[in-house]
Structure 1
Amino acid sequence: MRFLSYILFISFLFFSGWVYGDDDSELRYSVSGHIRDANTGEDLIGASVLVKQLNKGTVTNLYGFYSVSLYPGDYELVFSYVGYQSQLMAVQLNENHTVNISLDEQISELGEVTVYAEGKKANINSVEMSVNKLPIKTIQRIPALMGEVDVIKAIQLLPGVQATSEGASGFSVRGGNPDQNLILLDEATVYNASHLMGFFSVFNNDAVKDVKLYKGDIPAAYGGRLSSLLDVRMKDGNLKKFSGSGGIGTISSRLTLEGPIIKDKTSFLVSGRRTYADLFLPFAKDEMVRKSKLYFYDLNAKASHIINEKNRIFLSGYMGRDVFENQFAGMQFGNNTQAFRWNHLFSSRLFSNFTVIRSNYDYLLGSPEGEANSFEWTSHMIDYNVKADFNYYLTPELTLRFGANSILHKFQPGSARGLGEESMLTEFKLPDMYALENGFYVSSEQAAGEWLRLKYGLRLSTFHNIGGALVYEFNDAYEIVDSTRYGRGEFYNSYHVLEPRIAATIIINPQSSFKASYSRTSQYVHLAQNSTAGTPLDVWFPSGPNTLPQLSDQVAVGYFRNFFNDMLEASVEVYYKKMDNAIDFKDHAMLLLNRYVEGELRYGEAESKGLELLVRKNRGKITGWVSYTHSKTTRTIPEINNGKPYLAPYDKPHDFAIVANYEITERIWVSANWIYSSGLPVTFPTGRFEYMGNIAPVYSDRNAYRMPDYHRMDMSVSLKSKEKPGRKWNYDLNLSVYNLYARKNAWAINFVQDETDPNVTYAEMTYLFPIIPALTFNFNF
């Protein structure tokens, strides 16, 4: 009955949309094409196309394509993108037209710096809510840890997004776990987005074109995670001329090269980054440090080719690796992704994109060969993904999007073996697991009059476990009572979930609007992680007969208002999220190399509710934003905490951030941010007892206490080189200071038994970063 209700409701919406849209295709002609940067040829995502006579229009899609269908006649079209000079074009429409537009970047005057995330009034008129887009130029000006500009550190300054721990690249969105965030790089899933144990992310800012975070109103085209979608798009490569950029910093250096292989037709981009702390280790006094290795590297590469007006192909890839080694042990981990995409125009109104993707995350832990306990332990998570997405531009008021994707998951949770003849360890391997995840979606964006914008869609997700597999059956005490073996390639368990997505914008006046959204999401792959900090050794595992998919229903409402001719943007959002089949782990769960890990899981409900405030200043000598989040996230799981509700691991009642950029002159600017948040929930020992001569701790209720509150200030000063006629390169020098007033923020608390009195336990706080200055030399040519 619930399934039928969804189908009838969505069918009604689509039917009414088509009727309202007045799809008299035979009476309309189309103006379509791409909008690109005149200097580089890069597609501009979200550029505006306005039909002046109708005061209606559209925006470009993820590949810079637009299409507007109009009745025959004479029209004036305005093409615009924030930070670029607008173009006005007269069109006599008596047949279909292809109009490709190249926009020139604006030369901003002192005091008129512009940092809009999207077009003017986009926050008012767009049907999207719970969505944040950060311009790359804004990210580049945020003070960075050790001088390394970071996409994920930047989004952690937005409302509803919280760092999981000091310096970590993992993040929690509206109370969710880090594994509930879908992180995409050119549509390929990134399973571990961190370098150096989370202090840096895998995203090299020089190779990134666009960053968009969805916290609730996730498009129907995406699924598989409960909390958020972080969509990161790489640059396509300069189609006009050869260019480069890079930087030399305190801990790392980077270099990006791009240019045309065939001008205006074929382009390439190669971007590399590496730390070099290991180059200085041989000079250390300590012998163990001298023999250690500590570094990471990553490489982005991309090529694109315009075949003709109707076809373009892209090939992109990412490879990154972290290496930690000393004389006793070593660890390596990293991501490897490849994506092939084909844009095809079936007609001036039907745009398509076909994608083939491979994602791989793996880690290796080992010790030197030649010892009795020498070993090597490896794990892999591999995806093979095919996608087809379509955009059908019916009228200026109505756009239809539909498509499908299929992912073959291969889980290799772990294998261990001895190294060398001296090793006494026997080989141990957890069984590989396979699953097929499918998604089918349809959605529509509709302008229903001058004051109402609608977006509605439906996603059907399915998940199938595939053999060979040995599946255990557990009783109510989570003890194994039986098992069943399934043959290779045999489908032995399935789930399917209908996921409606609905959003509406009511435009109150040109300066304000009211928005509301509802979305259902599901998650079939989960992370075995029982610490808030997380480690590279955490293992992904699938839903199955003993592991239910997690489900989330989220409702949000918001009020959006602009002030002073759109110089100030303000918004307030209130949300409520209910999660079913929420996963947590029993006390003292054993997760690593455990073939019975399903027996460590416990299921229940979770809910998150909160209020988010954002005030952003977009123009002037001083730009930036202030964000505040007040929230609460709890879980209720019968077998945990005696069935009583307890705080979720990433619950932070208060989270506050100030980001400010001040352009003193055209060459000098100062940036600063200040962060305050409540401490994370923790479980403390409250007593001790003796059993058979051993002393064991007694713990409080789960997450009944908190770490100390967190706060920190960062600052940076940048000096830009003078621009000289004829000089083909420029530079800037950036001095940044992380944790300006040297706050000792708790990273971990350890409980230590007193050496003289075993009945006494005291707490020791571990903190990571004192004040850290960094100097970075950035250049471009």
Structure 2
Amino acid sequence: MKKTLLVVFFALFAIGGYAQGRVKVKGIITQNNTNAPIFGVTVIVTQNGYGSSTDSSGYYELIIPPGQYLLEISHQTYFKKFVKIDLKKNTDLDFVLDEKVNELEELKISANSSEQNLKRLGTGVTSLNVRTLKKLPSLLGEVDIIKSLFTLPGVTSVGEGASGFNVRGGNIDQNLILLDEAPIFNSSHLMGFFSVFNPDAFRDFNFYRGGIPAQYGGRISSVLNVNLKDANATKLSVNGGVGTISSRLMVEAPIIQDKLSFFVAGRISYVDQLVKALKIKKLEGSKASFYDLTAKLEFRPSTKDRISLSGFMGSDKFQLAKDTVSAIDDNGEALYDWTTQNATLAWSHYFGPKFTLKAIGVVSSYNANIINADSATAYKLNYAINYKSGKILGVYNLTDKQEIEAGFQVNHYAISPGTMVPTLPTSNKNAISLNNEQGLESAFFINDKIDITKKLNIGVGVRFVNYQSLGNATVYSYEEGQPKSILSLKDSVSYDKGKVVKSYGSIEPRFSLNYNVNSSSSIKLSANRMRQFIQLLSGTTAALPTDRWKLSDSYIKPQYSDQFSLGYFKNFNEKSSESSVEVFYKKLYNVVDYKDGGTLLLNKFPETAILQGNGYAYGAEFYLKKNLGVLTGWISYTYSQARITVAGPTEEETINNGNPFAPIYNRPHSFNAIGSYQVSKKVSFSSNFNFSSGRAITYPASKFYLNGASLPYYNSRNQAAIPNYFRLDLSMNIETHPYRTSGYRGTWNVSLYNVMARKNAYSVFFRAKNPFNQYYSKVDIYKLSVLGTIIPSLTYNFKF
């Protein structure tokens, strides 16, 4: 095994060879009025077509033979620049680009140039920036990263206002969400209506649903990597907004000119005050509020070093006056309270023309509570997860045609799966505390990007992972041939703190290929293996903030997937429009599901309620977008199917008689149409239309009468679907000072969410028409809608 790894390692370095007689030109590209680095700028040598693009730090580099060249520096949101250079030795060249203020071309889908969809390795990769999101119609005027993902092919959710998102047949916990490298375990505010990402604080994000680089691991469906913006190092800047339910304010400024700078961005809601002012009887006694704070401190001690410290803190409170979703009581008023905190310390250094190194340290925590103040059942239920990580990443440019990226990462998980304490002497609840869980995940990864020819480039990567389930833990054993339950429990083994309970090792290969058919089209192929050691346990249709995270252990095996995708990408009309068609197939292993009637809440023996099976997902994604002109936007359509099979050793541990069934998030058809029309420099209109198939649901096949009660009978799982979903949103943006590049600027946004006031079904349930005579009474079908009316909003954004 060791010999094989050495051969693979050295082969990656040897493929590209070593180019003699070449020099490097490198530097940082920034924006003219803020000095902020620009991501995705294309730098091309016009004579020979050699090119590069800037990373998130604005850094680019080219390795070419000595000589005289003409460089083309371009980005869709900035004016193009041409620079003549005479290279005789390694040279540092920084460039400053002028922003296209209110040009019609500024609305774009990708943060990269339009050529990047052809040149970029990997299928299923999308980049979006905040400028694009601000043009989209939004719920109550809030720009939202997560909601924007639903406009992309391959992304759906179980319903309106649900937490998380589903990608290519995967569950919501199979998505790795990073904010400046720190994982976000709950990306939602207000039970899923808004995301935790402040639109003023982030610069852009990269979304991988295929072609995932080896540096990312730990989830099996997708990676959403959100990058915070860089603090303004030259001058004080203030911007924010006042909206229907929340307001934002951001301040950024240099502390030491061009050396040390910071920004602080805050957001606070006032839903409670709005509910009181509207005096809606049904909502009296309800509570809904959130706030978040995002900050970043940057230090540039030299042109080669950058040190940053970023942090996020968010808090939510949510309560319904007559709470029917409490996990413990069928009635009573439960308060849901959850907080997220994380911090990232990063240092990057450019050692020379070939090597760059970055070191990252992360701490992250998520804490959730259910608080019930009812005197008879008063309790506080708490869940918590704490995460620590260290990562070293190095980039080595072996030649101008080969780049090697390698590093290692160590993640430590500590989970408190549930603690309940009574809060009043009159409470009939007993104190319960489950044992904490700990796990250690270690990984070494390497990516090799190689330009084989001018038309063909490939990416080869591998991630070596080792996971250890650690004590303090108790492992229970059960009678052979019997379903795992308390009745079949026979023994237990205890492990001291820090002792290895169970370990899993794996090799995750990654491969991407990009063949440029001609200057306007390319064919891409990707293959990934991903493994996941932490899963979210939720017994409800939409995950609650208090749902339990569970680490892999002796019984819960890691989930993993093999995904293959193939795509054709084509640009039109001198790159003003682009399109793509992608097909994918994903094989899923050890997917988590649950026994019928299984209990997850405060379950000391979770393996008695959890089942695991295998599955698959496949689909086709179509994407067409127009980048330039008065009318811009995109259309996406996805057809996909997912199936899971759970066939255990006993009938109790088998679902659907061992036959494949659709997961609840399966929605075969999804169509989105996004458009923006620029009427003038001041005014633009936007629209968003969404259609999707109804998600899978289990309907009762019949009913039977027992001891005076009518009970439903279910003979198969998820054999039906709720009604189809469609929604139309409209918005108008008004720039109050469209020609200003500095000073005070303001923007009005008027949005109409769900213009057709359609009562889209979130779920369907059944009830006897006459509850006093259920045996003979007809059963009626009822539809539950979350947002069943038109919702207007008005937001004013400002900057100076």
**Residue 296 (structure 1) aligned with residue 290 (structure 2):** yes
Cα contact 1:473–1:546 (8 A) shared by 2: no
Q: Any residues of structure 2 matched to 1:268-287 within 5 Å, and which?
A: 268-283=262-277
Distance 1:117 1:206 in 2: 16
Cα contact 1:621–1:662 (8 A) shared by 2: yes
Q: 1:33 corresponds to which residue?
A: 27
Q: Go from structure 1 to structure 2 and tell me whether the alpha carbon gap of 1:360 and 1:183 turns closer, same or farther (over 3 Å shift).
A: same
Distance 2:773 2:636 in 1: 48
User: Percent identity, aligned pairs only?
Assistant: 36
Give SS of 2:134's match. Answer: helix
Q: 1:308 corresponds to which residue?
A: 302
Cα contact 1:68–1:395 (8 A) shared by 2: no
Q: CA deviation at 1:318?
A: 0.6
Cα contact 2:109–2:127 (8 A) shared by 1: no
Q: CA deviation at 1:321?
A: 0.7
Q: CA deviation at 1:134?
A: 1.5
Q: Any residues of structure 2 matched to 1:303-452 within 5 Å, and which?
A: 303-325=297-319, 328-368=333-373, 371-452=375-456
2:794 to 772, 775, 778: 775
Q: 1:92 corresponds to which residue?
A: 86
Q: Tell me the matched-pair count.
A: 774
- Runs (4+) of structure 1 exceeding 6 A deviation are 3-6, 724-727
**Residue 505 (structure 1) aligned with residue 514 (structure 2):** yes
Aligned-partner residue type, residue 648 of structure 1: P
Q: CA deviation at 1:665?
A: 0.6
Cα contact 1:684–1:700 (8 A) shared by 2: no
Q: Any residues of structure 2 matched to 1:232-247 within 5 Å, and which?
A: 232-247=226-241
Cα contact 1:283–1:290 (8 A) shared by 2: no
Distance 2:105 2:182 in 1: 40
Distance 2:484 2:53 in 1: 53
Q: Go from structure 1 to structure 2 and tell me whether the alpha carbon gap of 1:466 and 1:88 turns closer, same or farther (over 3 Å shift).
A: same
Q: 2:203 corresponds to which residue?
A: 209
Distance 1:660 1:103 in 2: 28
Q: Go from structure 1 to structure 2 and tell me whether the alpha carbon gap of 1:382 and 1:725 turns closer, same or farther (over 3 Å shift).
A: closer
Q: 2:748 corresponds to which residue?
A: 733
**Residue 682 (structure 1) aligned with residue 697 (structure 2):** yes
Aligned-partner residue type, residue 762 of structure 1: D
Give SS of 2:173's match. Answer: helix
1:140 to 124, 134, 139: 134
Q: 1:23 corresponds to which residue?
A: 18
Q: Go from structure 1 to structure 2 and tell me whether the alpha carbon gap of 1:110 and 1:353 turns closer, same or farther (over 3 Å shift).
A: closer
Q: More displaced, 706-715 or 305-314? A: 305-314
Q: 1:478 corresponds to which residue?
A: 484
Aligned-partner residue type, residue 366 of structure 2: Y
Q: Go from structure 1 to structure 2 and tell me whether the alpha carbon gap of 1:138 and 1:72 turns closer, same or farther (over 3 Å shift).
A: same
TM-score by length of 1: 0.95
Q: CA deviation at 1:275?
A: 1.0
Q: CA deviation at 1:190?
A: 0.2
Gaps of 5+ in 1: none
Q: CA deviation at 1:602?
A: 1.2
**Residue 699 (structure 1) aligned with residue 714 (structure 2):** yes
What whole-Å deviation, never above 9, does each CA across 1:611-650 have from its counterpart, x for those lacking one?
Answer: 0000000000000000000111001111110000111221
Cα contact 2:238–2:251 (8 A) shared by 1: yes
Cα contact 2:105–2:627 (8 A) shared by 1: no
**Residue 118 (structure 1) aligned with residue 112 (structure 2):** yes
Gaps of 5+ in 2: 322-332, 648-653
Give SS of 1:324's match. Answer: strand
Q: 1:758 corresponds to which residue?
A: 774
Give SS of 2:607's match. Answer: helix
Distance 2:613 2:103 in 1: 56
Cα contact 1:524–1:543 (8 A) shared by 2: yes
Q: Any residues of structure 2 matched to 1:375-774 within 5 Å, and which?
A: 375-474=379-478, 475-476=480-481, 477-479=483-485, 480-638=489-647, 639-691=654-706, 694-723=709-738, 728-753=743-768, 754-759=770-775, 760-769=778-787, 770-774=789-793
Aligned-partner residue type, residue 493 of structure 1: K
Q: Go from structure 1 to structure 2 and tell me whether the alpha carbon gap of 1:44 and 1:488 turns closer, same or farther (over 3 Å shift).
A: same
Aligned-partner residue type, residue 633 of structure 1: A
Aligned-partner residue type, residue 575 of structure 1: F
Distance 1:562 1:277 in 2: 45
Give SS of 2:133's match. Answer: helix
Give SS of 1:746's match. Answer: coil
What whole-Å deviation, never above 9, does each CA across 1:75-134 have from its counterpart, x for those lacking one?
Answer: 333333221123333333333222222222124545785554421321112222211112
What whole-Å deviation, never above 9, does each CA across 1:667-723 have from its counterpart, x for those lacking one?
Answer: 000000111100000001121223455543201410001000000000001111034
Give SS of 2:191's match. Answer: helix
What whole-Å deviation, never above 9, does each CA across 1:470-490 have from its counterpart, x for those lacking one?
Answer: 112244411333211001111
1:186 to 173, 180, 189: 180
Cα contact 1:403–1:440 (8 A) shared by 2: yes
Cα contact 1:632–1:651 (8 A) shared by 2: yes
What whole-Å deviation, never above 9, does each CA across 1:530-586 have from its counterpart, x for those lacking one?
Answer: 233211111100011101111100111111111111111010001000011111111
Distance 2:725 2:296 in 1: 40
Distance 2:516 2:741 in 1: 49
Aligned-partner residue type, residue 638 of structure 2: T
Distance 2:732 2:656 in 1: 49
Distance 2:728 2:3 in 1: 51
Q: CA deviation at 1:242?
A: 1.1
Distance 2:741 2:293 in 1: 32
Q: Go from structure 1 to structure 2 and tell me whether the alpha carbon gap of 1:368 and 1:326 turns closer, same or farther (over 3 Å shift).
A: farther
What whole-Å deviation, never above 9, does each CA across 1:717-770 have from its counterpart, x for those lacking one?
Answer: 111103477972111111100110111100122222331431343221111211
Q: Go from structure 1 to structure 2 and tell me whether the alpha carbon gap of 1:464 and 1:110 turns closer, same or farther (over 3 Å shift).
A: closer
Q: CA deviation at 1:20?
A: 4.7
Aligned-partner residue type, residue 440 of structure 1: F
Q: Go from structure 1 to structure 2 and tell me whether the alpha carbon gap of 1:601 and 1:196 turns closer, same or farther (over 3 Å shift).
A: same
Aligned-partner residue type, residue 188 of structure 1: A
Q: CA deviation at 1:292?
A: 4.5
Aligned-partner residue type, residue 443 of structure 1: N
Give SS of 1:642's match. Answer: helix
Q: 1:259 corresponds to which residue?
A: 253
Cα contact 1:316–1:338 (8 A) shared by 2: yes
Cα contact 2:158–2:664 (8 A) shared by 1: no
Give SS of 2:718's match. Answer: coil
Q: More displaced, 235-244 or 285-294? A: 285-294
Q: More displaced, 709-718 or 134-143? A: 134-143
CA RMSD of aligned residues (A): 2.1
Cα contact 1:69–1:394 (8 A) shared by 2: no
Distance 2:676 2:689 in 1: 12
Distance 2:185 2:709 in 1: 41
Q: 2:154 corresponds to which residue?
A: 160
Distance 2:135 2:279 in 1: 37
Aligned-partner residue type, residue 583 of structure 1: V
Q: CA deviation at 1:6?
A: 8.0
Q: 2:224 corresponds to which residue?
A: 230
